[in-house]
Chain A
Amino acid sequence: MIAAAPLPLAHAGHWIWVLYVPPVAIVVFAIARTTIAERRKEREERRESERRNGDPDQSSD
């Protein structure tokens, strides 16, 4: 059984593609994070403007 077990390091060359993934992963992660942050900001701004429009005391300030 030991002889039949795969030895991943013997095929390290097959895993070289992993080194090409980080730039793509970093960019995709940064996009996802920025998009979520921008959407949250837009939502808060919309909520704030709705709150101001709905509150006559604040809208008159």
Chain B
Amino acid sequence: MILLPLAHALVARQDLPVPAWLFAWGASIVLIASFFALSVGWRRPRFEEDGWRPLGAGVSRTLLGVPAQIVCGLLGIVLLGVGIYAGLHGTEAPDRNFALTFFYVTAWLGFPLFSVFLGDVFKPFNPWRAVGRCAGAAFHALAGQPATRLPYPRRLGRWPAAVGLVAVVWLEIIYGSSGGVAVGLSPHAAAVAAIFYSVYTLAMMALFGTEEWCRNGEVFSVYFGMFSQLGAFEARDDRLGVRRPLTAATKWAAVPGSVAVVIASIGTTSFDGAQEGALKIPLLDTFNWLADRGMNLTWALRGADTIFLIVCIAGIALVYLLGVQGMRTVRGAPPVATLRTGFAHTLIPIALAYLVAHYFSLFVFQEQAQFTYLLSDPLGTTTTDLFGTASGGVDYTVVSANAIWYVQVGALVIGHVVGLTLAHDRAVAYWRDYRQASRSQYWMLAVMVAFTCFGLYLLSSGNG
């Protein structure tokens, strides 16, 4: 069986001072205490205005100027090209090939983290945007006029990105099975998928325009951009500026499909965490059931995984929608549709918390590989040593199992407290009477406690 570098079980059993389930009780107490503190001390909205102000013109010129755009765009294109080339021509051992770690760890997990702290950093490095902009500029120069674009359907909103997000995760954790055994995605399959995605993205950019597609349908732009809404940095009209953290998130979900994006993010991460723990037995039972009915073993495993992936996303959506319905029962509540989109941004910190909690150890360990032997020997053929780091390795003792557990718990607690704070702030904006606002937030408290306990259960069952 092929080694599984991307199976996310890179955590050892912890030696905790108290049972893992007690952390869920403690985290719930923290949330309840935060709820009461917010009810008492937070009586007017503070996140509705972002207070954006520009930084110095020199900073903007340096970081956002044409030379920086060219360098970043080229770097993005080169890295995508190296990833695809390594996937197609490198070793099929997933842990020795640059492609998988670069696509699914460095980029997929790294950009959300950097986006929170530095703003939408993916935008300048987005290789498809760079190609789309170059093609648009070339067409303009040759034809003497900008290319005609189709108007993007408003109702479609971010739905293509939500579906694409599920597809990207499906490819990573479900597609890579063979003969009824989860062997992980092969570098070759990842490279072929990257080529298909590039063709599809460039075609959509040609149809609807580069920036329009990046805002709505381009999976990575929308997904990483969602996390950048939590941060303090934002570029507007070629000026870099700072705003109050978390404030941009309050306007993010106004576009249709945004709720689906954030729910898909939490749901897919939950499934990934649950498939080796909480869902192991149900998955096996479903796999056997499908195989007994004559389904090919590979597709029986994919089918079982797909069913539970959908169940996880539907479960997260159901809990959120129950919270929304609960808020609707409070006197003076806006319509359900307004509540549904109006509180969706409160799930962004939870999506980030789930991401950190589930992939922190994977990121710490695999990035050591990324910046040592994978960078020097991207094809994994042991014939190249570009930067003299090909003999490097992964130090699994760099963080202890207990440290990983505390980071996971800390991420979940902080993420949910931030989510609760955003929800309370939105509630005092919707309900002018802060008492009614607090009453409406009983339901979001229940949602947050449910997500926290669920998240900790997934972690403990996966780690055990």
Contacts and interface: CB of A to CB of B under 8 A. Distances in A.
Scoring B281, B442, B457 by chain A CB atoms within 10 A of each residue's CB, the highest score goes to: B442
Contacts of A24: 28, 446, 449-450, 453
A35 B281 contact: no
A8 B446 CA distance: 30
Contacts of B460: 16
A15 to B, nearest CB: 11
Contacts of B326: 31
Contacts of A20: 21, 24, 453-454, 456-457
B329 A35 contact: yes
Interface residues of B, number: 25
A16 B461 CA distance: 8
Contact of B446 (A14, A17, A31, A38): A31
A27 B25 contact: no
B28 A27 contact: yes
A23 B329 contact: no
Interface string A27-40: 11001001100100
B464 A31 contact: no
B133 interface: no
Contact of A34 (B278, B442, B449): B442
A10 to B, nearest CB: 14
A27 B454 CA distance: 14
Nearest to A30: B442
Interface in B278-329: 278, 281, 326, 329
A35 B441 CA distance: 12
A16 B28 contact: no
Contact of B453 (A14, A21, A38): A21
A19 B117 CA distance: 36
B329 A17 contact: no
Given A17-B278, A20-B453, A21-B453, A27 B446 contact: yes
A6 interface: no
A19 B460 CA distance: 12
B44 interface: no
A23 B442 contact: no
B439 interface: yes
Interface in A1-59: 13-14, 16-17, 19-24, 26-28, 31, 34-35, 38
Interface in B1-45: 19, 21, 24-25, 28, 32
A53 B116 CA distance: 57
3 smallest CB-CB distances across A and B, nearest first, come from A23-B28, A19-B21, A20-B457
10 contacts: A19-B21, A19-B24, A22-B25, A23-B25, A23-B453, A24-B28, A24-B453, A27-B32, A27-B445, A28-B446
Given A20-B21, A21-B453, A31-B445, 5 more contacts: A19-B21, A19-B24, A24-B453, A27-B28, A27-B32
Interface of A: 13-14, 16-17, 19-24, 26-28, 31, 34-35, 38
